[in-house]
Amino acid sequence: MQLHNVQALKPRRKELRSAMTPAEIRLWQALKYSQLDGLKFRRQPSIGPFIADFYCPAAKLVIELDGSVHDSEIAQQQDAERTAYLVSLGLRVVRFENCEVMANLEGVLCEIKRQARA
């Protein structure tokens, strides 16, 4: 089974990349081109049956951004299942609220660097 960039999820990955939230756009501007400590991030890659917001293969680090859509009980259950799956692959998952990215980008970037070094 192919683990990364599953072909069946390609249309959905493309759709997500073209409809990024303002917080995703802001964080991507800081992560792309290996700007953050030379770490190469991918945006909206599939990992198994899930699509992550951002992924750094070298650090085995997944970054998820959560907006109000993640507040429902069902969404929180789905997030927990996604996180459990990713952790089972040996990946670390870090979640930030969209509002945190918008209000405190430097703090978010510092935490991403800290997690990447862990």
Segments making up each domain of the chain, as ranges? 23-54+80-103+110-118
What is the pLDDT, as a whole number, of residue 18?
A: 87
pLDDT by residue (tens digit) across 63-111? 999 876 656 688 788 889 999 999 999 999 999 999 999 999 999 999 9
The mean pLDDT value of the chain amounts to: 91
Report pLDDT for 3. Answer: 75
Please report the pLDDT score of residue 40 as a whole number. 97
Provide the pLDDT confidence category of residue 2 given band limits of 50, 70 and 90: low
Question: What does the DSSP 8-state code read for residue 48?
Answer: T
Q: Has this prediction a pTM greater than 0.95? A: no
Q: Under 8 Å CB-to-CB from 43, ≥6 apart: which residues?
A: 17, 20, 24, 28, 31, 32, 53, 54
Burial environment of residue 41 by CB neighbours within 10 A (0 to 12, 13 to 18, 19 or more): buried
